[in-house]
Amino acid sequence: MSSDYLKKIYYSSKDKINLIGLDYEQLVDSLSFFGEKKYRANQIMSWLYQKNVYDIDCMSNISLSFRQKLKEFFFINLPLVKSMMKSKDGTIKWIIDVGSKQSIESVFIPELDRGTLCVSSQAGCALDCAFCSTGSQGFNRNLKSSEILGQVLLAKSLIGKEKKITNIVFMGMGEPLANYKNILPVTKLLVDDRAFGLSRRKVTISTSGIVPQIKKLSKDCNVALAVSLHSANNSVRDKIVPINKIHPIEELLEACWLYADSTTSRQITFEYVMLDGVNDSKKEAKSLVKLLQNRPAKINLIPFNSFPGTRFRCSEKKVINQFYSELRSAGIIATIRKTRGDDIDAACGQLSGEVNDLISRRLSNRPFRQDRYSSR
Ligand code: SAH
Ligand code: SF4
């Protein structure tokens, strides 16, 4: 029997394959190469994700001869933690080495009733949102499935037995839907009972709005979706979320409502970063209400987190509260996100790791930043 997956990956690269991050179908497909039955995939997943055993030789219910065969084609490797920082509010940030002198970041946010892990999907980000520290670093590469899932495994082993990861959000560095091929097996493993067994509502993909991939995800693995809207007007959104020029608000929302329809009673979360004088007026709030009223939507207002070199400022607390009240009085479900871990630069949009930018853009020479909002 032959295996398409193994053939494609192994024979094209001649490298061994990391077992971490292969979803059930990929694993079954790969193992069929050896004429092995499906239950072998269950056994391997149980060792990796339930028993946290990362050595093929220690998988004791697998015969010695099959372990030898496995080792010819596969290996197990987790990324290395370079350093760890702990905020005074309990938030933990790990800086993780992904080779070539580059690093990415993941963040664990403990709360009374849950523990949220925020993972990165790319080294940098090419989408260049104006208010984002990751975007300002440029882009190097997509993270592999093993590097994305590796963040979960590392965090699980480092947070200590008394804490638990109950929620995973793809809100670290990078645009997850621009790395669709590698995030898909990870999301499948997170909701797979043979691996992590999280509920689909507890795994959230956050996207700045890559419409074709939103549609694909609704069919492939419809976990919770968060969309970085940040303005209800195309003219403003074009300037702060450049992908809007390719997929404007109307197109994005159409995909969102389709996504919500494809799941039972699921709401889309719209993220809205509060930028002083940019998107925080009463008029903007009213436009937002018009767009989202009577839709399966909730809004998460995010106070802007500053980073060196940015020209944006966070809206005043009073303004954020007024914006919030405007939404609530129109019957829209809204929350104001509590800033966590900002003393260790672990808050939303502050993650930057170390990225060798291949696009060679810098804060100062990005054309559409030059004149933006300088009148404020
Ligand atoms: N690329 C994805 C996910 C990573 S960013 C996305 O854009 O959705 C996670 C969230 O942090 C997004 O909502 C993003 O808009 C927000 N964000 C980025 N920079 C920020 C900053 N400086 N302050 C507050 N939120 C920020
Ligand atoms: Fe990329 Fe998201 Fe930052 Fe935009 S906000 S640059 S999509 S990481």
pLDDT, one tens digit per residue, over 91-106 is 999 999 999 889 999 9
**84 and 66: one domain?**
no
Is 271 assigned a catalytic role? no
**90 and 191: one domain?**
yes
pTM: 0.92
Distance in angstroms (rounded) separating the CA atoms of residues 273 and 236:
13
**34 and 154: one domain?**
no
Distance 254 CA to ligand 1 centre (A): 21
Residue 300 is predicted with a pLDDT of: 97
**53 and 106: one domain?**
no
| 286: its two tokens | 């009213």
Model confidence at 11, pLDDT cuts 50, 70, 90, reads low
Distance in angstroms (rounded) separating the CA atoms of residues 55 and 58:
5
pLDDT in tens, 193-216: 999 999 999 999 999 999 999 999
Cα 101 versus chain centre, distance = 22
Pocket of ligand 2 contains residue 244 by CB under 6 Å: no
| 12: its two tokens | 């094209």
Q: Tell me the percentage of the chain whose pLDDT exceeds 90.
A: 80
CATH number at residue 12: 1.10.150.530
**128 and 31: one domain?**
no
pLDDT at 374 over 80: no
How many C-beta neighbours within 10 Å does residue 333 have? 14
**141 and 277: one domain?**
yes
Is residue 335 classed as helix, strand or coil in its secondary structure?
Answer: strand
Model confidence at 365, pLDDT cuts 50, 70, 90, reads very low
**35 and 120: one domain?**
no
**205 and 337: one domain?**
yes
Model confidence at 8, pLDDT cuts 50, 70, 90, reads low
Pocket of ligand 2 contains residue 105 by CB under 6 Å: no
Distance 240 CA to ligand 1 centre (A): 11
Cα 274 versus chain centre, distance = 21
pLDDT at 73 over 80: yes
**314 and 247: one domain?**
yes
**38 and 100: one domain?**
no
pLDDT at 322 over 60: yes
pLDDT at 372 over 50: no
Of 19, 41, 75, the one marking the end of a domain is: 75
Give strand ranges (E) for 80-124. 80-86, 92-97, 103-110, 115-118, 122-124
Q: What is the mean pLDDT of residues 246-255?
A: 98
**113 and 253: one domain?**
yes
* Structural domain harbouring 38: 3-75
Structural domain count, the chain? 2
CATH number at residue 233: 3.20.20.70
Distance 66 CA to ligand 2 centre (A): 44
